[in-house]
Structure 1
Amino acid sequence: MSIRMRVHDREPIGAALRRFKKLLERSGLKKELRKHEYYEKPCELRRRAQLRKQRAIRKGVETPM
């Protein structure tokens, strides 16, 4: 996946950098890089998915009226 960004004439470097960071966030590339930063065993992936599911269930049950 390639990301292209054109820097406008007379645009401050800080503004261009800020736009670039937002572009990375929206594309999901930053999240994907973090996900693949370290190897995670398949059993750990399943365990995290199970914990995420349990938290969602608990959060849905504990909503006050």
Structure 2
Amino acid sequence: MAQVTVGENEGVESALRRFKRAVSKAGIFSDLKRIRHHETPVEKYKRKAQQRRRSRRR
């Protein structure tokens, strides 16, 4: 779960921006999209292959 503590002199907009960044880094939305719809074995294989390719580049 992504958490952001708002500082005393910090605006809501900047805290919201930090929260959005934390959520995207944690991969919450991508997990949610994947869970909402059934994933066929072929789609699962393609997704994992793409993740492997991405991890090799880094």
Relative to the length of structure 1, the TM-score reads: 0.56
Deviation at 1:49, TM superposition (A): 4.3
In the alignment, structure 1 segments of 5+ residues that lack a partner are 57-65
Residue segments in structure 2 that go unaligned for 5+ positions in a row: 51-58
Map Cα deviations across residues 6-65 of structure 1 (whole Å, 9 max, x no partner).
111121111111100000011111111111122x1xxx5222245x38xx7xxxxxxxxx
Which one has the bigger helix percentage?
2
Match for residue 45 of structure 1? 40
% identical equivalent positions: 23
Normalised TM-score (structure 2): 0.61
Matches within 5 A, 1:1-65: 2-38=1-37, 40=38, 45-49=40-44, 52=46
Q: Which has the higher contact order (CA 8 A, sep 6+)?
A: 2
Runs of 4+ with deviation above 2 angstroms: 47-50
Query: Which of 1 and 2 has greater Rg?
Result: 1
RMSD: 2.3
